[in-house]
Chains A and B, each alone.
Chain A
């Protein structure tokens, strides 16, 4: 029978992760990182925002991209869920709609890595909301 993961093993993993974090120059300062906010209200959740968020977290980690993936409330674009707000350091945030796993991969490959805008931005005059 395999051993079940426990808090004691978590402490070992913590030590490994801690040494990796110290190696990074950027640390965890959000302003230096690519930030992705996934809209996670009823409309987003029902449309698959959870899968989209998990996909971003896992894929960005696998590809070695330093990014901060967080959740946010409803941004008011319920018709286009799942929606994400993407902020590249030093640039204005943009919102993408209908972000499934395929779209998420396209956004990572083109916008996050190459800094090229991808089709599907809504709306053009978007300003980030604090609510």
Chain B
């Protein structure tokens, strides 16, 4: 994955496929302790202790179309190669919390990249999972909430190309105001 936004797109699909009603994606950039933390919190189906043990194994997946599951192992690898850590907690029937901490200034930390595009794809997910993106830096906080957007749009679908283009620009402009690092 060349960008963190691609990791986010990939890992967030797990929450959507776990039929979560709500998925929070929290990013926190901290210069003081050189950390770039990405957190996923969902209220989906969760995992059993047995599944949780295997989740970072690239040869474990719940899919039937193939025998490898690389999304989580790849994010874990990226976190660890930047001097960070990776943690996942889950409870069957309640949901999952996944935290990846990366080294903010580490040379191997990928850039965040096109997070606006990622959020647009996730927002139009097939199970109507609501996405709440929360990006915090020492310059401020930006929140993108699909529930709030849908309320503003009323009966106009979020999948409308004009709306998507507008929202992408809105996310980019707001993030530019607060982001410390790319």
Contact = CB atoms under 8 A, between A and B. Distances in A.
Given A40-B121, A46-B6, A50-B118, A14 B152 contact: yes
Q: How large is the interface on B (under 10, 10 to 19, 20 to 34, 35 or more residues)?
A: 35 or more
A45 B71 CA distance: 10
B159 interface: yes
B34 interface: no
Interface of B: 1, 6, 9-10, 13, 17, 63-66, 69-71, 74, 114, 117-118, 121, 124-126, 148-149, 152-157, 159-167, 169-170, 173-174, 177
Binding site secondary structure of chain A: helix
Interface of A: 4-7, 9-11, 13-14, 16-18, 21, 28, 40-43, 45-46, 50, 53-54, 57-58, 60-61, 68-76, 78, 129, 131
A124 B172 CA distance: 41
Nearest to A68: B159
Nearest to A7: B152
Contacts of A6: 170
A5 to B, nearest CB: 4
A76 B65 CA distance: 5
Contacts of A131: 63-65
Contacts of A76: 65-66
A10 B166 contact: yes
B114 A17 contact: no
